Chains A and B, each alone.
Chain A
Amino acid sequence: MYDVVIIGSGASGGAVAYTLCKAGYKVAVLEKGRLMRREAFSKDELAYCRRDLVTPNLFDEYHTIEEKVEGKWVATPTHESGWSFWNGNIVGGSSNLMSGMFHRLHPDDFRLKSKYGAIKGANIEDWPISYDDLEPYYTLAEELVGISGHHIPHRYEPKRSTPNFSQPPTKENAVVKLLDKSCENLGFTPLVTPRAVLSKDSNGRKACYYSNLCGSYGCSSGAKGSARESLINPALATGNLTLLTNSHVKRLQSDSQDKVHAALVVDTITGKERYIKGKIFVVAAQSHESARLLLNSSNQYHPKGLGNSSGELGKNLIFSGGGAGQGELQKENLKQIKFEDLMTTGLFVNRSILDWYFIDHWWDGKFKGGSVEFMFEHQNLISRARKDNEVKGKLVWGKALGERVEKRFQEQKSIRFEIFNDWLPNDDCFVSLDPTHKDKYGMPVGKLRVEGHPQDIKVGKYIAKKCEKILVEMGAKEVYSSISSSPSTNLVAGGCRFGNNPKHSVLNKYCQSHDVKNLFVADASFMPTGGSVAYTWTIYANAFRVADHIIEQLNITKI
């Protein structure tokens, strides 16, 4: 019997495992994927980005996605649409593959409803905790995960308990000179993006070597702050962690109303099933899969799903709203910096803008806005060579194709912005169980309805216009942006909201089930609203907070 059994070894599971193992508790982490060590990662575009090396085959395990067709909701399996909601199913989860652009939430993100009022059609709720409750854990994550950066005070930059990052920012491409100047000309304030990437060696992890292929790839220096490098490895070193890989949890078993007693695990290689027992269970399978697991764990005491007396389980799933835009910096008309410097590979753009996090303008009105990240277009060769090879709807091939691709690679570089704004929780964004489709283990797959709220698009377009101006000021050509209500499949939250009222929330403020006392959900499922930045710093921080509470609980039971 373990003290704590954790389902999922990603960002959230890793933070809980680390804290508990360091405190001397016996922990089992059940991870459906395999262990890939640092040395195993390569920059194989075909394997990582065009095949499913680190995610399940979509014919074996998939989701169904509901869309409205002629007034009716129709669910399509992702192996038909080719739309995958898997992000990384290896030890360390998606955090192995992230780009690592990290931000803290703003204090007002914790009280959106009281600050901005309700929005029609959106289920906004204040959080039961404040920024001050989470701040020490943001700081802890900064140290343990290894977040590099440089703090520049800004009206929307939340306050810090330490003056600056202990790791300086990663190296930057010369393009930042052009970007900074262009922002200055327009009266905008660029900030240095905090990044979960080490700029200096630390604790057996090597500094970033600027491999040029970061997001979607594993890191072979250990610089990226994946849960595997920063938390699971040190947890293993304590001797208190049992890491069970290729162990897919099908359901949680309860033998009484208010307790889980075992996880039913299938070995993904042999197909053999067994029970893993523990005193406390922590679900950390990434939001949409965590809700699915709890729905699949219904029993006589919990007929609507484990811990679902509120009926809220799976509801109010959220993604990251916004979109992206791009422009071409061309050799022939580049200003202020040398073309060779622009073409230097690997160095980061490292700039974000928070100026439009909240908008309070005499003409535009008062509303919650979002943040912006600047970056180069993903440096994958195949996808860059393959894009835009059409003229008037016809494929270009032969000599014309060669000339086109050559120019794209040798005479220009694409600069890009990504907008992150709140995805307003609403009644048409949730996960439930598909009534017919089952995965290869015989369990109902998650059925996702992923509709956005019109306000998200309005905000995204507002910010995109400002960012397009920046690219134009930089001298970029062919500037465009695209704002849509398509969900960001790699940034998922909600589905098990936390709150003080058990009638309206699944978890209490410590992310502990209101109904089942030894059950916790540690990933982003708890978030009633998502803020206007990527989630993962908050996921790490909150999981450390949850782990501290679990330790308190275990200490009480000891006494």
Chain B
Amino acid sequence: MKIKRRAFLVLGSLLGLSPYLNAQVINGFQKEFKEVEKTLYAVQDHMFPEGCPLPSAQAMYMTQFLYDTMQHHSFDKDIKAFVIEGAKELQKREKGKFNTMSSKEKEKALRAYEETRYGSSWLSRIMTLSMEGMFSDPIYGSNTKEAGWKALGSYGSFPRPKTKYLES
């Protein structure tokens, strides 16, 4: 059966149904994003650290990409809420300490989060969105100097976009 995404997103979080998600509209997305930005970055940085075959989260401006892509009106509002809620959930599980943990501790915390269906789905979503940035056209601000494509040895095809779809 096709998963009922909204019901799953709402019920899966230990925080329960926040008024924010309940309202189904994202007011003040910028403010909400700011609150979890560091956590999102810490997770992306752990998934895409420096010194690996793929470029790092930092070099690819992955957190900025996350913000840019989600703020557009066409972005799925359930997923937008899920990204924020899932990060809050992680902060809560780790009593606000996740961002300052050592790499080993982060690994433990994320693997434990992954044990839950909700956490596993959230981590998978963060991975997907991060890769969307790293391997999409550099016009979107990630994949700088085509570093993502270089790592693959495969490049986007022509004609390349002259404008971001985000501008429409």
Which residues 25-62 of A sit at the B interface, judged by CB distance below 8 A?
A: 41-47, 50-53, 57-59
Residue from A44, A51, A346, A397 within 8 A of B48 (CB atoms): A397
Q: Known A46-B140, A397-B46; judge A385-B127 contact (CB<8 A).
A: no
Q: Known A50-B132, A57-B74; judge A398-B46 contact (CB<8 A).
A: yes
Contact present for A394 and B114 (CB under 8 Å): yes
Residue from B47, B160, B162 within 8 A of A398 (CB atoms): B47
Which of A294-302, A405-413, A476-484 forms part of the interface with chain B?
A: A405-413
Convert B141-162 into 0s and 1s, putting 1 for each residue whose CB lies closer than 8 angstroms to a CB of A. Answer: 0000000010111101111111
Contact present for A386 and B127 (CB under 8 Å): yes
Cα–Cα, bound, A402→B57 (Å): 13
Chain B proximity of A58: nearest CB distance (Å): 7
Contact present for B152 and A409 (CB under 8 Å): yes
Contact present for B158 and A43 (CB under 8 Å): yes
- In the complex, how many residues of chain A place their beta carbon closer than 8 angstroms to a beta carbon of chain B? 48
Which of A74-82, A176-184, A223-231, A278-286 forms part of the interface with chain B?
A: A74-82
Contact present for A81 and B2 (CB under 8 Å): yes
Cα–Cα, bound, A537→B59 (Å): 48
Residue from A51, A406, A409 within 8 A of B165 (CB atoms): A51
Chain B proximity of A144: nearest CB distance (Å): 26
Which residues 371-392 of A sit at the B interface, judged by CB distance below 8 A?
A: 379, 381-382, 385-386, 389
Cα–Cα, bound, A403→B135 (Å): 16
- Give every chain A residue within 8 A of B49 (Cβ-Cβ): 398-399
- In the complex, how many residues of chain B place their beta carbon closer than 8 angstroms to a beta carbon of chain A? 48
Convert B20-47 into 0s and 1s, putting 1 for each residue whose CB lies closer than 8 angstroms to a CB of A. Answer: 0000000000000000000000000011
Cα–Cα, bound, A440→B46 (Å): 42
B4 within 8 A of A: yes
Residue from A51, A67, A389, A399 within 8 A of B74 (CB atoms): A51
Residue from B3, B51, B149, B159 within 8 A of A381 (CB atoms): B149
Which residues 87-141 of B sit at the A interface, judged by CB distance below 8 A?
A: 111, 114, 120, 123-124, 127-128, 131-132, 134-137, 140
- Give every chain B residue within 8 A of A398 (Cβ-Cβ): 46-49, 52
Contact present for A47 and B2 (CB under 8 Å): no
Task: Please indicate which of the listed interface residues A45, A46, A58 has the most CB atoms of chain B within 10 Å of its own CB.
Answer: A46
Contact present for A80 and B154 (CB under 8 Å): no
Residue from A46, A47, A52, A395 within 8 A of B127 (CB atoms): A395
A336 within 8 A of B: no
Contact present for A51 and B75 (CB under 8 Å): yes
Contact present for A406 and B132 (CB under 8 Å): no
Contact present for B161 and A47 (CB under 8 Å): yes
Cα–Cα, bound, A118→B149 (Å): 54
Contact present for A386 and B128 (CB under 8 Å): yes
Cα–Cα, bound, A389→B162 (Å): 31
Cα–Cα, bound, A406→B148 (Å): 11
A212 within 8 A of B: yes
Chain A proximity of B70: nearest CB distance (Å): 11
Contact present for A58 and B76 (CB under 8 Å): yes
Contact present for A395 and B161 (CB under 8 Å): no
Contact present for B3 and A44 (CB under 8 Å): no
Convert A210-254 into 0s and 1s, putting 1 for each residue whose CB lies closer than 8 angstroms to a CB of B. Answer: 011100000010000000000000000000000000000000000
Contact present for A406 and B111 (CB under 8 Å): no
- Give every chain B residue within 8 A of A269 (Cβ-Cβ): none
Chain B proximity of A343: nearest CB distance (Å): 9
Contact present for B127 and A406 (CB under 8 Å): no
Chain B proximity of A392: nearest CB distance (Å): 11
Q: Known A43-B159, A381-B156; judge A402-B77 contact (CB<8 A).
A: no
10 cross-chain pairs, A with B, having the tightest CB-CB distances, nearest first: A402-B53, A47-B165, A43-B157, A44-B161, A397-B47, A81-B2, A402-B54, A46-B136, A42-B161, A402-B52
Could you pull out 19 A-B pairs where Cβ atoms are within 8 angstroms?
A42-B160, A45-B135, A46-B132, A46-B136, A47-B161, A51-B75, A52-B74, A69-B1, A82-B5, A83-B2, A211-B157, A220-B159, A379-B157, A381-B152, A382-B132, A385-B135, A386-B128, A395-B127, A398-B46
Partner-B contacts on A (CB < 8 A): 41-47, 50-53, 57-59, 65, 67, 69, 76, 79-83, 211-213, 220, 345-346, 379, 381-382, 385-386, 389, 393-395, 397-399, 401-403, 405-406, 409-410
